[in-house]
Amino acid sequence: MRIGINATFASERHNGTTTFVDGILRCLRAHGHEALVYSSSERYALLEGVTLRKTPASLADGRGSATMRRFAWMQACLPRRLKRDGVELFFAPNVEALLWSPVPQIVTVHDLIPLFYPAESPRQRHYYKYVLPHILRASLRTLVVSQHTRRDVIQQYGLDAGRVNVVYNSLREDLLDDSVGAKPEGLGSCPYFLFVGTFSPRKNLETVIRAFARTHSEVPEKLVVVAYPDRWQDSIRRLAKELGVLQKVEFYSGLKNAELKFLYRNATALFLLSEYEGFGYPPLEAMASGTPAIVSDSTSLAEVVGDAGIQLFHRDADGAAVAMRRLSGDSTYRDTFRDKGKLRAGQFRWLNRMEQIGQVLISPLNQTALHSCPLGVAE
């Protein structure tokens, strides 16, 4: 089958959606299907079994105007290109899809952050509220990346549950090999706790900072924060300064995959106490690297981590402080979660998704909708 994939948004900046696209392409190639990727990124031209269909570079990445340009280009130009290229199925790895598609269309919803947290994504809120419902109802099937997101999508958009299928995100394979990665410049040799995410209030980095402030004089660890600068960064820095720990918090952004791998592999533990996530890559990547993950007990994080990590209420600074002390001082306790985490993370490999993706993506014209169960094993 000739399958067209939208990657007009893709740039050289790596994120969870590009990881998702890479995994889908790997599965399609393994099944012998032809993948046409619509993108300006040359990275797709280097993949065996993938044909790059170049799109304007001005559509890639960015916010605001680039997003609007993408939407206009996709609605006006992409349907004609799909027909010209003989595409039999169009797959959107995120919510950027067609209001009218000349071929069957499958759309992926990773989360509903713009609906639930409009201050974080104010421009996308209207798209999720007024445009996305029409796209999903006109699509053959909707893919979601967790059971939690599946429930949200069905409830918010009134979709037929039989047409909403879970395909869990999966790991970058390089996180599962034995290489150590590359040490970020300036990291030093001090042990550290790790946070990977954004400065958005939804991520609850504030709780992690407060927990660290209660323990920093008792443990040797510093706190390493990996997040791109945004409008909330200054408030986090002010909080760390007010609590007297700013000098023990290090901030990084724009790291290469090898540098992030090093941070995961050498951290004492990763903390992500988000109030809401559609999936949550950092805990899974930490566990794959042998690092214990401490996550909030709500939304998809608990679903992904299971009993292989420590689960806390997202505002529980006292509980996070207790976890920091014990993980820092008790190597046996730490090793227990290292072993359980690696075992759990091993279940989230694209190799384990091959058959499922073949059923819900590669053979979508089958009128029998396949339901999902935990970890993407077909019922």
Same domain, 207 and 314: yes
Question: Residue 299: what pLDDT?
Answer: 84
Residues of the chain above pLDDT 90, percent? 71
The sign of the dihedral angle between the CA atoms of 361, 100, 92, 159 is negative
Confirm if 280 and 170 have CB atoms less than 8 A apart.
Answer: no
CA distance 189 to 131: 50
**Mean pLDDT over each residue of the chain, to the nearest integer:** 89
350-373 core/surface letters (b: 16 or more CB in 10 A; e: else): beebbebbebbbbebeeeebbebe
Give the gyration radius of the chain's Cα atoms. 21
The residue with greater pLDDT, 277 or 349, is: 277
User: What is the pLDDT averaged over residues 294-313?
Assistant: 94
- In a domain, residue 132? The reply is yes
pLDDT tens-place string over residues 219-272: 999 999 999 999 999 999 999 999 999 999 999 998 988 999 999 999 999 999
pLDDT tens-place string over residues 158-202: 999 999 999 888 887 777 777 888 999 999 899 999 999 999 999
- Angle 282-285-287 (CA atoms, 0-180°, nearest 5)? 110
Residue 97 clears pLDDT 90, i.e. is over it: yes
Question: Residue 373: what pLDDT?
Answer: 34
- In a domain, residue 374? The reply is no
Q: What is the 3-state secondary structure (H, E, C) of 12-31?
A: CCCCHHHHHHHHHHHHHHHC
Residue 149 clears pLDDT 60, i.e. is over it: yes
Residues with Cβ within 8 Å of 36's Cβ and at least 6 positions away in sequence, in order, are: 2, 3, 4, 5, 50, 51, 53, 85, 87
The residue with greater pLDDT, 23 or 151, is: 151
Question: Residue 379: what pLDDT?
Answer: 27
Residue 352 clears pLDDT 80, i.e. is over it: no
- In a domain, residue 341? The reply is yes
Same domain, 248 and 325: yes
Same domain, 217 and 328: yes
Same domain, 182 and 331: yes
CA distance 328 to 68: 47
- In a domain, residue 242? The reply is yes
Same domain, 13 and 111: yes
User: What is the pLDDT averaged over residues 350-375?
Assistant: 55
The sign of the dihedral angle between the CA atoms of 247, 249, 253, 257 is positive
Same domain, 22 and 46: yes
Question: Residue 62: what pLDDT?
Answer: 62
The residue with tokens 């012998």 is: 32
Question: Residue 12: what pLDDT?
Answer: 62
Number of domains in the chain: 2
Dihedral of the alpha carbons of 224, 306, 277, 62, in degrees to the nearest 10:
60
CA distance 284 to 293: 8
Same domain, 203 and 277: yes
Question: Residue 80: what pLDDT?
Answer: 96
Question: Residue 374: what pLDDT?
Answer: 36
Same domain, 11 and 127: yes
Same domain, 201 and 317: yes
Question: Residue 378: what pLDDT?
Answer: 31
Confirm if 157 and 179 have CB atoms less than 8 A apart.
Answer: no
Confirm if 295 and 279 have CB atoms less than 8 A apart.
Answer: no
CA distance 337 to 287: 8
User: What is the pLDDT averaged over residues 202-217?
Assistant: 97
**CB under 8 Å, gap of 24 or more: what pairs does 334-339 form?**
334/268, 334/269, 334/292, 337/269, 337/292, 337/293, 337/308, 337/309, 337/310, 338/290, 338/291, 338/292
Same domain, 184 and 163: no
Same domain, 340 and 355: no
Tokens of 358: 């073949």
Question: Residue 375: what pLDDT?
Answer: 37
- In a domain, residue 376? The reply is no
Tokens of 34: 């032809």
- In a domain, residue 377? The reply is no
- In a domain, residue 206? The reply is yes
Same domain, 166 and 241: no
pLDDT tens-place string over residues 34-81: 999 999 988 888 888 899 999 999 998 665 578 889 999 999 999 999
Please, which pLDDT band fits residue 371 given cuts at 50, 70 and 90?
Answer: very low
Question: Residue 369: what pLDDT?
Answer: 39
Residues of the chain above pLDDT 70, percent? 91
pLDDT tens-place string over residues 64-76: 578 889 999 999 9
Q: pTM here? A: 0.89
188 is in which domain, residue-wise?
Answer: 174-345
- In a domain, residue 178? The reply is yes
User: What is the pLDDT averaged over residues 269-281?
Assistant: 95
How does DSSP classify residue 308?
G
Of 291, 254, 298, 244, nearest to 273 by C-alpha is 298
Q: Domain containing 94 — which CATH number?
A: 3.40.50.2000
CA distance 273 to 147: 19
